[in-house]
Structure 1
Amino acid sequence: DDSTSRLPQLSVGAITHPEKIAAADHQTKPPARFTEPSLVAKLEELEIGRPSTYASIIRTITARYYVFKKGAALVPTWLAFAVTKLLEEHFTKLVDYKFTADLEEELDEIALGKASRLETLKSFYFGEDNSHTGLHELVTELGEIDARALSTFPLGEDVVVRVGRYGTYIEDGTGKRANVDDELPPDSLSLELAKELLAAPVNEDRELGVAPDTGLMVVAKSGRFGPYVTEVLPEDAPKSAKPRTGSLFKSMSLETIDLAQALELMNLPRVVGKDAEGVEITAQNGRYGPYLKKGTDSRSLTAEEEIFTITLEQALEIYAQPKKRGRAAAAAPLKELGTDPASGKPIV
């Protein structure tokens, strides 16, 4: 009836008397992060990419550190936000979903021999009369890009996050800075946490001594990828000059490392010797831990300290054993497309 469907006439200053007050709890949950399968599903929905390119798309965004994996989830990085900001503000058309999907169709036509790749490239680069702007004109009229503004994200109270040349950091209004852990999801970096990081004591570079072979000071310091040692180049050193560096082993610390250890780290990889055919064997550290390398053949070591202690005889014994291939197990497919009618095997 009218009493429930219409509000009564109200005037300024009128007093209302509630008939009933009820409490309701409602929490808005953010959308779930993409996983590899859900990202592929979204790409399919947008008609972007093809089954043959999905794996390379995921490899690319991971290798360029636009995302990192936390469990099964793909977590975006501050670098990804900065790149997205750049593309959306200055290359809007090139990141438009429909434009990308249409271009995918053109590429399919080229693959089928129904379209000319040269005409497609010409259209993409130079554009077409009044229909769309080409890349050449887009870049020519781009103007100045404020890289600092694009890579800056406010947290509040004059505290900002910046994506710099050597990683992500926070900065306050006084210019004080603090590095941000690469594995910290952007949504976990609150203003309160930023203040804690800015208030934490800063680890000063620790001088270890002068390298006898170069005459340069060697320091131990904390960096984006953990503690390391490096040489300090003179101010007048050419831009092409690169100091020797070396990451500390897990068993080492910035407080206890000495000059001798630092020189060993900076001189890696270490030449262990040569095999009977004259092929050099080296010991070095990598993304997956310490290992030996002989040509294209690499073998894992059990501890980082072995890099400095393993002998040629021990290395040859390791190479005499059959190579273990446990790490080379096939990764789970991004998507199963069906069964091959000829072989009966799944197509992934």
Structure 2
Amino acid sequence: MVGPGGDVRPRELRRAARLRRGPARCDRPRLRSRRTAQGRRTPARRRGGAWPSRAPRRRPQQLYEGIDLGAEGAEGLITYMRTDSVRVAAEAQEAARQWISARVGGEYLPDAPPAYRSRGSAQEAHEAIRPSEVRHEPKSVGRFLTKDQLALYRLIWERFLASQMMPAVYDTVSAEIEAGRCLFRAQGATLKFKGFTAVYEESREDEAPSEEDAEGAVPQLQEGEVLRLSGLEPKQHFTQPPPRFTEASLIKVLEELGIGRPSTYASILGTIINERGYVRRDRKALVPSELGMAVTDKLKPYFPEIMDVEFTAQMEDHLDKIEEGERTWVETVREFYVPFQKDLTRAKKEMGSEKAGEPTGETCPECGEELLRRRGRFGMFLACSGYPGCKYTRNVDGTERAGDEPTGEACPTCGKPMVVKFGRFGKFIACSGYPECKTTKPVTLGIACPEPGCTGQLAARRSKRGRVFYGCSAYPACRFVVWQRPVPEPCPKCGATFTTERAARGRVIRRCAREACDFEREVETTVA
């Protein structure tokens, strides 16, 4: 092995040209923030937005319905956005070619407009998502758009123009270098012709560089010339497990498998996350819940065809054929229902009941009856088989489950004591007479509602989409709402009774709750 300062020699040099083609114009799934299996961020995140699935549904809708452009009036800036097609009208392609020729140069135009192929199940009733008028450049309409609207419009506008341009051309060099008995390989690439990157370049800020990104310019080399070795850096790479799905990466897989449509992706995620609770969010990652895993484990042995991802994709294809007159709905329903009925009959006979619980062989310390292993919305727990006569429960690991805590209040409906309970979304106050009395109210933050004449207090709530907000406990009589967490710290500038707190990019910012007040300060965070 040659050490630093020794001589090495290039043994073989290979030079070639590499084309990097422009992206296909936008379709619906490409508007979302996601990470691929290789860990790279995709366009929506790169171009300035990290949005959940419901956000891309709103912002394109706003751009499509129309934006007030001042003297020009309200105008829709993009074409219909619930589409997975990549088809573009000839008039739009011609407008793009004229802009490219005038602004960038004729050498950036291919001889004929590029043609892209949609995936097999794509619905071609609409064009691809593109700017309705190329003349509306992002910089000219930016003052009429919000930050997120502008980021999304710039992505659509630049990506569409890039899809009509020549590929970028790179000169590549691959060199095999001898160092004693060892052989090393160096690769590099230099940009020869900008092509579509003159208009659109996907930013890769704050990402770990990939092998492709690591390629740099290799200095001019000649075979056999003597080089001085400056140093060797031994590195070891390990194969990483695939990351958990995010909303957008899951949508990408649904698209690849032919499951769902651009107009249904958000509702699919809303069902499994918010409505059914089969999946929970851990920051941006989607994590299966205990309930989700239990339902899957129960259904897979008895309904293997329905639980197969190909079933839904095949059903989507059959529905398309019914619409086109190639299949009858009776035939499709019969093919599904006959085997399903057999599976359902078998499941009714053989599938065990989750409500019955599994015997553990342990006895209840309070009444002596057998303890059963049951599954709740928070996971597995042990409960007495003598329920409801005996209500003893404990966690599987042996710790006691959180019980009801008295509040000292009486139920306004039936007069029984109110207690603090622990539910799916945290603490709440409920009548101890449940299920006969279903009176509940939220646990407040101890901060008085700022609305004049209101005696309520602020409490954490959840919207239908699962987002936490803070509203008055006197709702619906009082509809005061704030989205950032209230903090019982008066504003030193205007005297407001509380401030709000928001964490962003490793910083914690407190602001006055009053819109007219500009008080703001950063809170020092302590590290344990």
Taking structure 1 as the reference length, the TM-score comes to 0.50
The structure with the largest helix share of the pair is 1
Higher relative contact order (CA 8 A, sep 6+): 2
The structure number with the bigger radius of gyration is 2
